[in-house]
Structure 1
Amino acid sequence: MDSSTPEPAAGLPHVTDGFERLWTPHRMAYVTGERPSSEPGDGCPFCVSPGRDDADGLIVHRGEHCFVVLNLFPYNPGHLLICPYRHVSLYIDLTDEETLEFTALTKASIRALQRASGPQGFNLGMNQGEVAGAGIAAHLHQHVVPRWGGDANFLPIVGQTKALPMLLEDTRQRLVAAFDAP
């Protein structure tokens, strides 16, 4: 080994395949199926987040019935989630007032993202139930994912790693300012 090659951990073989490694052990919970609790109250991350201050809860905007929060594991910078405060799992279970605000905050999120970072497109979606891909199926949330030409490359497929050019708090601050803009 030359001086630029790190020493392997005790008892582990040295791998010389020429690849750099970006370790993301926090993602193992998703690989092993140990997802965050979806129990109401202290167990559900979407119930806990509004009880924190905005920076700690990654809250971008608060409404009367719903709120906008950054995704802790974003697909792209600015990946937002619209969530009702009420712990409800299905879109059809929202009250009329919640539905109106849920929709209004989706539109406001798109406008804020356009002001903050000028995406060329968006993916919008809700996964209803675990079988449909919902990571936290018991608390309804809609994804608003900004997209740019060339934002997806080989890294997530080959390296199972997503490179994000901006820290979550920097993204949150930028979006808070864009939400408040006229």
Structure 2
Amino acid sequence: MKQLWAPWRMSYINGDDKDATAGCIFCVRDSADEDGDRLILHRGEHAFIIMNKYPYSNGHLLVAPYRHTADLSELSDAEALEMHRLTVLARDALRSWGNPDGFNIGMNWGRVAGAGIEDHLHLHIVPRWNGDTNFMPVFSDVRVIPQHLQETYTLLAKAMASLT
């Protein structure tokens, strides 16, 4: 039997990242000096692109508004437009980085819909490749992540910088 290596997921499993004093992970407006540690790839005026710390696949990105809201209807036109534009930018960076064959893009509203963070709206962009490991989560509740998160961050940051 082969082993699947994803060491960063242990802190998620153990609940180590659920420090109530840490606040919302998407409320990042004034902490740009920590972008590398927080896996923030790009900051816009109203929204930003961040890597998912517990990805479904390599390159799993999130787009979130700076403003803390859980309701899409509460976004201003400027926030909604920038989230759309950052989704396209994230897609372009993922294409440059890993040339995926497709993407899953969407939002999970509410815990029952799969939202791990219910109180701050965010959009998922998950790159997909022909022959990727679709069956693993279905059959054995396992996700295969073939590249370390920090290595993926470094490569995606370079791809993002070339596009902006």
Shared topology, TM-score over 0.5? yes
Please tell me whether Structure 1 or Structure 2 has the larger radius of gyration of its CA atoms.
Answer: 1
Tell me the matched-pair count.
160
Matched, 1:174 2:159: no
Question: Which 5+ residue runs of structure 2 have no aligned equivalent?
Answer: none
Is 2:133–2:144's contact at 8 Å kept on the other side of the alignment?
A: no
Matched, 1:128 2:109: yes
- Taking the aligned partners of 2:121 and 2:115, their CA distance within structure 1 comes to 9
- Write out aligned runs for 1:3-42 (5 A): 25-28=10-13, 36=18, 42=22
**Correspondent of 1:156 among 130, 137, 150:** 137
Is 2:51–2:61's contact at 8 Å kept on the other side of the alignment?
A: yes
- TM-score under structure 2 length normalisation: 0.84
- Taking the aligned partners of 2:56 and 2:3, their CA distance within structure 1 comes to 21
Question: Which 5+ residue runs of structure 1 have no aligned equivalent?
Answer: 1-17
**Correspondent of 2:86 among 76, 84, 105:** 105
Aligned-pair CA distance for 1:160: 2.5
**Correspondent of 1:68 among 49, 57, 82:** 49
Q: Say which structure, 1 or 2, has more relative contact order (CA 8 Å, 6+ apart).
A: 2
Residue in structure 2 matched with residue 8 of structure 1 by the alignment: none
RMSD: 2.7
Aligned identity (percent) is: 42
Look up the equivalent residue of 1:92 and give its one-letter code.
S
- Write out aligned runs for 1:136-151 (5 A): 136-151=117-132
